[in-house]
Amino acid sequence: MLDAGRRTSPPLRILTWHVHGSYLYYLSQLPHHFYVPAKPGRPEGYGGRSPGRSWPPNLHEVDADRIRHLTLDAVIFQSRDPYERDQYELLTASQRALPQIYVEHDPPREQPTDTRHIVDDPSVLLVHVTHFNALMWDNRRTPVHVIRHGVAVPSGVAFTGEIPRGLVVVNDLRSRGRRLGWDVFEQVRSQIPLDIVGMGSRALGGLGEIPSERLAAFMAHYRFFFNPIRYTSLGLAVCEAMAVGMPVIGLATTEMPSVIRNGVSGYIYTDIEQMIRRMRELLARPDRAKALGEGARRYASAHFSLARFARDWDLALAAAAQLRSKGNENVRAGGLNEHAGCAYK
């Protein structure tokens, strides 16, 4: 395990689902025991300890039909189906009464300001991974915490930037279209030397997938990191690039303006031509790229450390326990309305 900070209290036993592999990896660096369900064929959300990563020993795979036999302290949902459906099929009533957290990884898709979140329960804690996401969702009655990403890179990995090209790290960019910036990528690539890695990248003339353990060292050789994404959450790859010490160039949308400062850690614009001019500048001036990369590294060290991530999660888990305790008291007193009581059916 990476060093996510020390605890004096006993570790908790937490059930969660394998939804985003990189996020699960960093979540499992916390000093708790995490249990992830698996099903035959490993369908979405039930990949368990899927191959391709060096999972820490405190991440435990359990058959989905054995979850009801686990002794747990909390449940963390990370997608819709487990929260709305699967918990009633897989968990006992007493397990469903445990502290619950729903991690929302994305901004609202259907309508950016008026979309109601599926969780509407004052006894459940809703964790957003960016302040932009928390602002845009209609969170209704659900209490909200924001826990920004925590990342780490292997010891000794640092930006060198000797490859005079930009690097894009996006999975399945073509199939995810305009939201992930496929057209932006193609427009920029017609003028700037770019490489792309990730699932499905070979179909775009890219380099394919890079194993997670090697990605930071691979990125460090490129002159800059390019994020073409229009509308999604702040990507962990952006945070990891900053931790490596890479300058970041991207679109000034969603959470990016709160993370990247022009002329300090990279450049962000809504004007694509202005963005391309800055890329040309960094290709011609490796010294400038190095200075911006150092600014990115300092920001990541201050804001994306695993120690801070662990502290925020401990606060969230304590808050979720308090909310659930209060909710259970209301249930015993008959104080919850029919909708809020649905979590205890």
Q: Is residue 156 part of a domain?
A: no
Q: Is residue 5 part of a domain?
A: no
Whether residue 116 sits in one domain with residue 34:
yes
DSSP 56: -
Whether residue 252 sits in one domain with residue 333:
no
Whether residue 132 sits in one domain with residue 206:
no
31-84 confidence digits (pLDDT tens) = 999 999 999 999 999 999 998 789 999 999 999 999 999 999 999 999 999 999
Whether residue 289 sits in one domain with residue 258:
yes
Classify burial at 160, counting beta carbons within 10 Å of its beta carbon; exposed 0-12, middle 13-18, buried 19 or more: middle
| For residue 339, pLDDT beyond 90 | no
Higher pLDDT, 128 or 333: 128
Q: Is residue 103 part of a domain?
A: yes
Whether residue 259 sits in one domain with residue 223:
yes
Q: Is residue 1 part of a domain?
A: no
Whether residue 291 sits in one domain with residue 312:
no
* Residue 1 pLDDT: 56
* Residue 4 pLDDT: 60
Which range of residues forms the domain containing residue 115?
13-150+305-344
Torsion of CA 222, 226, 232, 234, to 10 degrees: 50
Q: Is residue 88 part of a domain?
A: yes
Strand ranges (E), the chain: 13-15, 33-38, 59-63, 74-77, 100-104, 125-128, 144-146, 163-169, 194-197, 222-227, 248-251, 266-269
Q: What's the pTM value of the predicted model, to 2 decimals?
A: 0.91
| For residue 342, pLDDT beyond 50 | no
The strand order across the sheet containing 194-197 reads 194-197, 163-169, 222-227, 248-251, 266-269
* 213 CA to centre of own chain: 17
| For residue 336, pLDDT beyond 60 | no
Q: Is residue 297 part of a domain?
A: yes
* Tally of structural domains, the chain: 2
CATH of the domain at 247: 3.40.50.2000
> What residues contact 25, with CB distance under 8 A and at least 6 apart?
53, 55, 212
Whether residue 169 sits in one domain with residue 298:
yes
Higher pLDDT, 84 or 5: 84
3-state SS of 102-160 is EEECCCCCCCCCCCECCCCCCCCEEEECCHHHHHHCECCCCCEEECCCCCCCCCCCCCC
* Residue 338 pLDDT: 30
Whether residue 44 sits in one domain with residue 142:
yes
Whether residue 274 sits in one domain with residue 216:
yes
CATH of the domain at 123: 3.40.50
Whether residue 294 sits in one domain with residue 167:
yes
Whether residue 259 sits in one domain with residue 324:
no
